[in-house]
């Protein structure tokens, strides 16, 4: 299982990480399968082990991100207070993921606030990187060459 080496879990107490690993469900998906659709109830988040997942938004399925690196987080809407997913996640080929239920993760992290803080700092960093990548893609689409400061 790749999840035990994922950046999201680095620096957490070993016992807490072990509980999270034990709660994870490994799944395999075929090309064209969806892990979830936009506006579905956000109950799980996923850690990619193998394959590529296209994350898209809106009725036209506009590309937002392609998760392709082992350890990539998919479905983080479930972790930041959203009741529904803000995008859809489609498997572009054979995919293996570890699925973790948000309510189980909440309980485990509630029992170890220090690991919880570490987890959410890593999650914020991952979301920040994805946001910067989105800014860069937007600049490229509009023909701008020099990135501006985004805070």
pLDDT in tens, 48-82: 999 999 999 887 767 778 888 888 889 988 888 88
Whole-number average pLDDT of the chain = 87
Segments forming the whole domain that contains residue 83? 2-138
User: Does any domain span residue 54?
Assistant: yes
Confidence (pTM):
0.82
User: Does any domain span residue 96?
Assistant: yes
User: Does any domain span residue 150?
Assistant: no
User: Does any domain span residue 149?
Assistant: no
Between the two ends of the chain, the Cα-to-Cα distance in Å is 36
Domain CATH code at residue 115? 2.60.120.10
Distance CA 122, CA 120 (A): 5
User: Does any domain span residue 89?
Assistant: yes
pLDDT at 29: 98
Domain count, the chain: 1
User: Does any domain span residue 144?
Assistant: no
Continuous segment of H or E residues that includes residue 137: helix 113-141
User: Does any domain span residue 119?
Assistant: yes
Distance CA 59, CA 65 (A): 16
User: Does any domain span residue 151?
Assistant: no
Which value, in Å, is the radius of gyration of the alpha carbons in the chain? 16
pLDDT at 130: 75
């Amino acid at each position: 299982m790749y999840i035990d080496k994922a950046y999201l879990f680095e620096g957490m107490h070993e016992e807490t990480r072990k509980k999270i690993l034990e709660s994870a469900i490994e799944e395999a998906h075929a090309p064209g399968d969806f892990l979830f659709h936009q506006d579905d109830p956000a109950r799980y988040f996923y850690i990619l082990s193998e394959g590529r997942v296209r994350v898209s938004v809106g009725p036209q399925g506009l590309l937002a991100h392609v998760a392709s690196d082992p350890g990539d987080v998919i479905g983080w809407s479930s972790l930041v207070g959203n009741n529904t997913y803000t995008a859809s996640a489609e498997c572009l080929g054979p995919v293996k993921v570890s699925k973790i239920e948000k309510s189980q993760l909440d309980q485990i992290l509630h029992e170890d606030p220090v690991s919880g803080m570490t987890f959410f700092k890593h999650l914020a960093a991952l979301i920040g990187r994805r946001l910067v990548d989105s800014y860069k893609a937007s600049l490229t689409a509009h023909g701008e060459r020099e990135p501006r400061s985004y805070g």
